[in-house]
Amino acid sequence: MLFFNQVDIVRKLLPFVILAAVFFLVGVVLVTNPVRVRRFAPGASADPARLEADVRALTGLPGFRCFERPDDLGAAADWARTELLASGLPVEESSFGVGDLSFTNLVAHYGASEGPVLVVGAHYDVCGEQPGADDNASAVAGLLELARLLHRNRPVIGHRLELALWPLEEPPNFRTPAMGSAIHANSLALRGVDVRGMISLEMIGFFSDDPGSQTFPAPGMSLLYSSRGDAIVVVGDAASWWFTRRVKARMAGSSELPVRSMNAPAFAPGVDFSDHLNFWKQGWKAVMITDTAFYRNPNYHQPTDTPDTLDYERMAHVVTGVYAAITTL
């Protein structure tokens, strides 16, 4: 009799177990967004030497390009303007004020003068008095290389591209209307621009093959992802799931660098820690492409965030992947 009672209990519980397993599997798919990788020629390849030269040039400027040092930040804007113009793309400059200080957004344009816009952006300021090689000279260098590749190869695309460099992403202006990306996003919204999506480049140069070098914002995530910090990650919110998937697939197909992704609510720690949050606020699809910052890089917001700590070969694969994505989305 006891045996039959146990069988009856198992039968009653089985539907709930199956339902729980289904919910778990669906959750894994929604978070990790697995894609089938189809290899293809990206059409152009980023130059590791050029990326390294730009990182060293930006971090080698006198002073510190932070909000507390506006003259130094202005010098960084001057350098970025010169390099962006040297790419050959037309560049639009706009100034905005915070108190009695003035700061500069820079936007290079590629493609038709009308139609939907895809924004790719990176902040060029740092948090306090530190060089900021990974955070965020790596992304600035990547964006400059994207501009060069576009001008050199002239790909035919069905949308407009805006390549933006912004100040004031870092504290004390993070999450405030003073962020350069917030100014840009608000301007697009006020003009009624059709924004197809936005890609934020946020720390793209630090990698490690050591087990345990990758940490996570929540317990259990190590079951879903590798513990090695050897991949680039595409981060989106739930509303950007398909956009994340498309960007990830194109990046993964363009090189041998592992590409992982995470879609999670904005309140998950780290998910909205960059300029893409200002585009989410406008209701647009947006992702962050990142080496995961403090979840991997021990030099985050430290004086040790120097050019010698970056992997320029793998960083070039990231930029090549982004190029493939923005020219084929």
- What tens digit of pLDDT does each residue of 22-74 get? 444 444 555 788 888 889 889 999 999 999 999 999 999 999 999 999 999 99
Two structure tokens written together for 94: 């706009």
Where on the phi/psi map is residue 59: left (φ > 0), alpha (ψ -120 to 50), or beta? alpha
Q: Cα Rg for the chain, rounded, in angstroms? A: 21
48-59 and 70-86 helices cross at what angle (nearest 10)? 150
What SS3 class is residue 237? Answer: coil
State the pLDDT at residue 113. 81
State the pLDDT at residue 13. 58
State the pLDDT at residue 202. 98
DSSP state of 77: H
CA atoms 164, 170, 175, 179: torsion sign: negative
What SS3 class is residue 303? Answer: coil
Could you give the CA distance from residue 226 to residue 215 in angstroms, rounded to a whole number?
A: 9
- What tens digit of pLDDT does each residue of 226-274 get? 999 999 999 999 999 999 999 999 999 999 999 999 999 888 889 999 9
pTM of the model: 0.93
Question: 44-328, what's its fold?
Answer: Aminopeptidase (3.40.630)
Of 181, 61, 66, nearest in space to 127 by CA: 66
Domain boundaries, the chain: 44-328
DSSP state of 266: T
DSSP state of 307: G
Query: Residue 272, Cα to own-chain centre: how many angstroms?
Result: 10
